[in-house]
A and B are shown apart, each in its own frame.
Chain A
């Protein structure tokens, strides 16, 4: 009998738990440790942030589902990792701290045979002075509670605009190294459409601020894509959309301080500037959780497990941009020091960025960190689960592999909500990490599989995926037929 412990119940943790439970016999234990007892479909937070969906439409409680499916659950935070056990405990364990109920504040050592670290990112608001969702008129949509809060503030502003107020709305990245530009891109387009719906668009100046060097970089160095009969750059496509919607932009901006209604930023030219606003939504930096690890003798071995995020089978040798290779990216998400530990989704440490790193004249690094969206998070979690099942069944090698350099991602960015007025910008990219050797003439991507589409169908698709993925997450009949 084996015990598999999964840390985190986001997209990757939940996918891993669901597949393990479906494929492993009952004698094996699957245990999920996560501080939030709700599963949330994060991509739909955008619609919570414009008041078109309620939080309860995008979340559901995990404990009843896990009870029904025979998955054990502890509502707790992992605090430290002990992959060799310690003086008292023979087997590997993690220390957890309960965050709810009668056990709140208690700690426990949870032993495991296999550990899946799916704790995603820490939303590192503290890395930008004054950036704290709900203060200084700056908000976030990274969680459903943040998104609800953002909507209340935006709604207030819309009401004031209806009374004649002129307003400035700033949306983008809140740190020089933020990622997840895609989420901010969706939000700015949705906000812009809502302003039109409320007939206050003329009173608003809507501004995109980002650490990207060019529009449409999205932390992926931009993409060259087919759009109808044309081949265009994502920068051209986004520029076309922004100009058409009257959205202005500030690029190469490393936001470093937020004051009440003022965003201070440094540019790649080394200038220090600021932008005022009445409402802002800024994506924070994503960092590792700062976990510590200890060996059997209680010596600190954090560097064997973590480099911010968790170390896996990537090539972490520091190299200049020109020498980056698709082969640097991990394939199995297994920790090189402890082969029973894996880290899919956002929890693994990327070998380097995907976008070209850029440094301001003052030496500040201003460029996007690599994104890891929902689809690769789900795919990597499933392949980790499949490899663990193989090992339990006696296989020696890890057969299931999935490098971001050999995997596509379908990103359907909502560009406005509504069954007849909605829109979506679908950008499908293959591979996620450009492979310049395989596709030298098309900026590292395969053109037929890298394409863009704009229109109402994109909204319908995003809307359909919302229901399909919640159905899948609820593990309803034949859920596994829906791909990650």
Chain B
């Protein structure tokens, strides 16, 4: 095992309070990707 994630980073990743805000941020960011919609690729305006 090679430690590739520093202690402070791991604390950030696993701290429930920080991660609660991350959860909200992530949910919004993902919703924006989803809400960004979808379309074709073959017509310039599609």
Residue from A329, A435, A455 within 8 A of B12 (CB atoms): A455
**Is A244 in the interface zone, CB < 8 Å from B?**
yes
Q: CB distance A461 to B23 under 8 Å?
A: yes
Q: CB distance B14 to A426 under 8 Å?
A: no
**Cβ proximity bits B19-31 to A, threshold 8 Å, 1 near / 0 not:** 1101100110111
Residues 11-46 of B contacting A (Cβ, < 8 Å): 12-16, 19-20, 22-23, 26-27, 29-36, 38-42, 46
Q: CB distance A401 to B39 under 8 Å?
A: yes
Knowing A243-B2, A455-B12, A457-B26, say if A402 contacts B33 (CB, 8 Å): no
Q: How many residue pairs between the two chains, A and B, have CB atoms under 8 Å in the bound complex?
A: 100
Q: CB distance A401 to B2 under 8 Å?
A: no
Measured between C-beta atoms, what is the minimum distance from B33 to chain A in Å? 4
Tell me, in angstroms, the Cα distance from A244 to B9 when the chains sit together.
12
Q: Name the CB-closest residue of B to A401.
A: B40
Tell me, in angstroms, the Cα distance from A355 to B26 when the chains sit together.
27
**Is A458 in the interface zone, CB < 8 Å from B?**
yes
Measured between C-beta atoms, what is the minimum distance from B15 to chain A in Å? 8
Q: CB distance A451 to B29 under 8 Å?
A: yes
Tell me, in angstroms, the Cα distance from A426 to B31 when the chains sit together.
13
Measured between C-beta atoms, what is the minimum distance from A254 to chain B in Å? 28
Q: CB distance A406 to B22 under 8 Å?
A: no
Tell me, in angstroms, the Cα distance from A449 to B33 when the chains sit together.
6
**Is A173 in the interface zone, CB < 8 Å from B?**
no
Residue from B4, B14, B35, B42 within 8 A of A331 (CB atoms): B42
User: What band does the interface of chain B fall in when counting residues whose beta carbon is under 8 Å from A?
Assistant: 20 to 34
Q: CB distance A403 to B39 under 8 Å?
A: yes
Knowing A410-B30, A449-B33, say if A456 contacts B19 (CB, 8 Å): yes
B-side contacts of A246, CB under 8 Å: 1-2
**Is B3 in the interface zone, CB < 8 Å from A?**
yes
Most buried by B among A401, A420, A456: A456
Q: CB distance B13 to A331 under 8 Å?
A: no
Tell me, in angstroms, the Cα distance from A329 to B41 when the chains sit together.
8
Q: List 18 A-B contacts (CB under 8 A).
A: A241-B4, A243-B1, A243-B4, A375-B34, A402-B39, A406-B38, A408-B33, A408-B34, A408-B36, A420-B14, A428-B29, A428-B33, A435-B41, A451-B29, A453-B26, A456-B16, A457-B26, A483-B34
Chain A residues close to B by CB (< 8 Å): 240-241, 243-246, 326-327, 329, 331, 375, 379, 383, 401-403, 405-408, 410, 420-421, 423, 426, 428, 430, 435, 449, 451, 453-458, 460-461, 464, 483-484
Chain B residues close to A by CB (< 8 Å): 1-5, 12-16, 19-20, 22-23, 26-27, 29-36, 38-42, 46
